[in-house]
Amino acid sequence: MKIYEKIKKQEEKIAVIGLGYVGMPLAVSFAKVSKVIGFDLNEEKIGLYKSGIDPTNEVGDEAIQNTKIEFTCKEEKLKEAKFYVVAVPTPINLDKTPNLAPVEGASRIIGRNLSRGSVVVYESTVYPGVTEDVCIPILEEESGLKCGIDFKVGYSPERINPGDKVHRLENIIKIVSGMDENSLDEISKIYELIIEAGVHRASSIKVAEAAKVVENSQRDINIAFMNELAMVFDRMGIDTKEVIDAMNTKWNALGFYPGLVGGHCIGVDPYYFLYEAERLGYHSQIILSGRKINDSMGDFVANSIIKKLILANKVVKKSNVVILGLTFKENTPDTRNSKVIDIIKGLREYGIEPTIVDPEADATEAKRFYDIELSNIEAIKDADCIVLAVAHNSFIKMELGDLDEMFGNFSNEEKVIIDVKNILNKTEVLKKGYSYWNL
């Protein structure tokens, strides 16, 4: 095969299919050492990249402007590549079952343009077996080629943490796998061109697929435990953060905190694992319970807001509630599967239409996916309640006085602050008499 040598010498091209929060950093890194084709079906996104704009904020405009990536939405361009990396999203359906349409679609596109001697590597999160049982048949059908003879396949789960400038693609160990020893060696060497932390060679594609869904399921379960504690401690009148801070003084404490669990990984991956487990006749107890708890946190926060409004003598239906943050996590424009939406839905059940502020969020996506018009923070006046839902740096830097300017002209006891992310100094807030609640 020896694709690695040809890629290193820039005699063959790498194609990255799917230029989102995962694919874009990957393509930029590969483009520093090889010729790269960046493919995405979204013509608007390709146009932004060609203009030197990074809508994901993962690599920045300067990196896009200086990269040598050949951006395209024309699938015929993929015929020029020999090493394909699939980095399309794998969401879930309304019934929480895996939605494999994006990865199946990417497989069809690659299959139509696949040539002998190529390697296809999937990075999209899937349950064990999808690469070999779903993707390979599509590649063979579309290409007329035989896997293992005419082309090879591997799997290397993405581990990019959107918005995290410390744990980057290059310094996170990369799990890689191949359908045989030859493909595993080639795929490993190609990733080693850009991964400074090195690679971990999994024994099989299924092991690599499982590792991805399990590592996120593990985090999901641990956060669910903290969320359950938070709900119980709220009834007990105990501050959860104070309990966790005390617990974390022990050397083997895990350091997890309660919160909203959304996004395209932790809030989704466990369902992929659950789907395949149940298909094989095993009904999960721990993972499913954790998912139910985490999916309920938006309602829990919304109900806590209503309680604080009532205790502050507010007319609930007429209350002006301002939510700071819409994205699924801090310092990223990504609103996919944001659980802030569950808070908004919960408030709407009480007749409240909250005002949403998020300087980081993609306003176009907020309107398209959620029909939400984002407001500027400078325009916020006469708020009855401010909800700190996402810990963006811009919100963390705000002082209590900045929040106070957003409230209406009434006493501090009537000003409700909901601190989902524990951003504020609780002692200072309570000392000044605000009506305060933290998760």
How far is residue 398's CA from residue 165's CA, in Å, rounded to a whole number? 21
Concerning whether 73 is annotated as a catalytic residue, the answer is no
Residue labelled with tokens 């350091």: 255
Beta-carbon-side half-sphere exposure of residue 290 (alpha carbons within 13 Å): 26
Catalytic pick among 73, 135, 147, 265: 265
Which among 320, 341, 291 is positioned nearest to 383, based on CA atoms? Answer: 320
Torsional class of 415: left (φ above 0), alpha (ψ -120 to 50), beta (otherwise): beta
Angle at the Cα of 152 from the Cα atoms of 150 and 154, rounded to 5 degrees:
170
Tokens of 151: 């082309």
CA distances from 188 to 30, 95, 173, 175, 192 (A): 14, 37, 11, 9, 6
**Cβ-contact 407, 341 below 8 angstroms:** no
**Cβ-contact 293, 261 below 8 angstroms:** no
Please name every residue paired with 83 in a beta bridge, in sequence order, or none if there are none: 14, 119
Which among 328, 305, 291 is positioned nearest to 383, based on CA atoms? Answer: 305
Residue type at 18 in one-letter notation = G
CA distances from 9 to 35, 312, 427 (A): 9, 68, 61
Tokens of 260: 């909203």
**Cβ-contact 169, 25 below 8 angstroms:** yes
**Beta strand 70-72 pairing with 35-39:** parallel
List Cβ neighbours of 127 (8 Å cut-off, separation of 6 or more). 98, 209, 213, 272, 273, 275, 276
DSSP 51: T
Give catalytic residue positions: 265
